[in-house]
Structure 1
Amino acid sequence: MFIILALLVDIFWVVLDTEEKMEQSASIAVERMDALFTGIEKKLAAIDTSNDFCTESDRQALEDIIYDSVSIKEISFIRDNKIVCSDRSRQHNVDISRELPKNYSDFTGRFTYTAKDQRRNKNALFYLIPAQDMWVRVSLHLDYIDFWVSDFGARHSMKAKVIYNGNFVAGDAEVKNCDLLNLIEVDSQKYPYTVMTGYNGHLLLKAFKDQLLYAILIIFLISALFVVGLSSLCRNRRTLESEIVQAIKNNEFVGYLQPIVCSQTQQWRGAEILLRWEHPHNGLTTPAEFITIAENSGLINDITLKLLAEAARNKAVLDKINPDHYLSLNVTASMIANPFFVRKLISIIKHSPALQHGIVLEFTERETFTDDQLAQLQTGMTKLRQHGVTWALDDFGSGYSGLSRLQQLSFEVLKIDRAFVAASSTDTITHSILDSICNLAKRFDCDVIAEGIETTEQAERVNALGIKYCQGYLFAKPMSFSKYVSKLKKAQRQPVLDLAPKELEQIIEH
């Protein structure tokens, strides 16, 4: 596996590296060749071709241009297929029709071509520039251009050539396009040519071999970092897991209460128990920090039993304030499908008279079950219902099996997912879905609780739909039991009124 990863990294690295090098090298070659042609044209522009053209000083200027550039072999001014002026004094009115393209007079701009130099009887590279009623033909040293382009490619560990209109001009002539496994073309924006760079199989293999050691080192370092990170994660997991075990022994896990209120009167009818960890060093910690490890390790079962035992003590106090007040505790469906865990729950309820009424257990619809597991879940729910437990389906609508769960399992309460409540203010479709959920609840004889109420507008919509109960930050945030008792006593002294949502803030402040 290590070698395979190293090879894959090497291949990926070579592909990216060669792509970048090809484009960079071709761009550099174009830049240098553009500079060559631009320099030639600037010097030619300094020659006056209007009056008494081709004087000795004009030919001397052409010779100076050639002398300054090793790539230029000859410069000629052409009119009507004849040389009218050249750096060579003897070349005057020489007919060079056979060296010129047949249709060159149709061109209006610069162009490049190769042809046989009839005076030297060998191929030459020519560059034609329009100049008033003439053409300037620059004859380039083809051997030098070939060498320069080929050497340029070799110095960059690739093949390079210059093409014009798809035809080879200079460079690695023996390499055809089909021989290159990877290539790129960069056009000059000013002059009529294109530089092509690329890699054949031999060069790619060489690049692959050159980078293989680095790829192995990278994979080795990544693997080492991964092992160290995984080891650290496992240590942290074990540390957190051991901390959770110790926290259970020290009773550091407590239930914070968030009230569930009547939509019309805003009376506190019950409360949901929300898990918190009173960490000795980190302070009050929410489940987001530890719930995944607690669930994966199975420690969540012991935490839940601790919360239920705490709920028994707390409910005995709450019953003295309001005998009709209930508490709701979150469990997972897999807990209830576990007969051993159900027996533990029943044992706590049997020994706690306060839990034998007004206790709600809720779980979500997100878990999936086989037929056998579903039968065990139904059995567990039935046994606990026989001991006074009421069942609630939490986050209804957030899963894919809401209606089927309602048909297969019996619930007394539906808790609408907060996402529907939040979207109902602006989305008419979501508002319609809420209405459908309310009708479905009536069909199955379920009470409905809307979760996540944060604004008076949401409260008004929920109330208008006939949803009896609400829960959310608009009414109160989760709080400690002692604070909850204090607020519940004040709420009990409030007269029972049919209040509009806009009056909620006044009640909450008091």
Structure 2
Amino acid sequence: MFGDVRAIAFIEKKVFFFCGLFSIFLSFLLFSAGLYVFLLNDLDKRTNMAKNALSKHMESIFAELQQVADNSALVCEKADIDRLRRATFYSPIFKEFGLFNADFKVYCSNLGAINISIYKSIVSRIENSEDRKTVSLMNSKTLGDATFFAFYQRPDGVGVNALAPPDSIASSINQILLPDYVYELTLGKQVLFSNRNQIVSDLIETKKVTFDDWAIELEVLLTTDLYWNRLLALLPWIFMCWALLSIILCTGYFTFAYYRRSLRHCVKRAIKNNAMEVYFQPIVSLNVDGQYEMEALIRWHSVHHGQVSPLVIVDMADRLGLIDELTWMVIRKVGDFYREYPLPLSDINISVNVDRHSLLKETFAPSLAGILDEYPELKGRLGLEVTETSALNAIDLPIMVSRFEHIKALGIHLSVDDFGTGYAGLDFLRRFPYDTLKLDQIFIASLKDDQFTRQILTSVTKLAKELNMKLVAEGVEREDQLNAVRELGVDRVQGYYFCRPLPKEQVIAWIEEHAAHMQQDSTRL
């Protein structure tokens, strides 16, 4: 017992360990995969947001240039210079504005009158642009080496150019992409903004967006650093998930284990796996030269439930809809018994209990015939004991008679089991007499002291003889009961007085031993 408890405790510890191990593995896997998918989606989402933000930013830039151009003329007087200075002061981006003419010469700026020619490459882009606008990155004396230039020209030839630090173009997308993502913003082949120097890990994914109107390209990079930092931040949630999964898995396992150990499931599995045993109890003839018979009785020792009562097995099989499968299993085991011991069992009939509702099914007799073909040893030696559990109605009675005729045609003996406690009607016995009536043990137990019971059994015995039926007294356990049934004229006895139900090896040994005693008694006589 203590060994079983220790074994169960060891198994439970293993279950907890493996559930915990699997849970933490599954938690990391779920969060790792989920984070990977999330970051890829987030990369797409933020890249699109940055694209839209940059587009709006560029539109606002050219809207500002157009406003300056609309208020300008082909002169560079003090009022014009002041107007450019005010535009520079209020501009969120630009540090200097200039005006150029149809010949693409800058003639005025917020610093005063000037005379500078615009590069031919820029002139070509302005002329080829549908809206006569373009941007460029080049050196500037005002702001230093790398300066962002934007150009816009009115239809009449008056144009505006403005310059700004390159970082100002990236300001609109910094709040969207930083600090999580590394990105690079290029204009043509020159870099407007880049934080690539921050990359110290591998890349997971790269997204690129191109603005063809301005020759600007945005490249956003997803790094493994971001992935691992996010995963570390999720550790508390991972451990919470691990604890929850461990509880769920352990609960699920023990619930499933409980179900597998439940009587319902164990009975079902035992029937399906042909795992039950069949014991045999002899039916002894009181005549010196009488033959033996036996009844096959189901027995089952469950690993989880111990020895289970046959009544419980039959009841559970009936509830599970497996009562026929249980019957076929017992009959096949009887067939195996005949094959294993052909000589000792050559003259012995064996009966099997069968539910009456099974007999009413159209498939019962054909299935039984199939088993007889499978086990020819059963032909002429197999009997069915029918327990009467309810009265036959006007519809079932003729059906039952027809089924019995079919079964009898197969050479099967029929017996009424537990006669006197069920609903075996006399009318049915007269219409289709059984081969054997088995008197229930409840009558045998009270036979000695109950005169009314004795009168009933006397009538039953007379009825059986009139119908040419054999009589078997069940549950004979004492010698006084044996003498009482003998006085009634019952010549077949089943009960613990002679032999309890035994497994096949022991019942064969009992038969051989009892046959030897009978032979000795016959010799003495």
| Greater Rg over alpha carbons, structure | 2
TM-score of the two chains, using structure 1 as the length reference: 0.49
TM-score of the two chains, using structure 2 as the length reference: 0.48
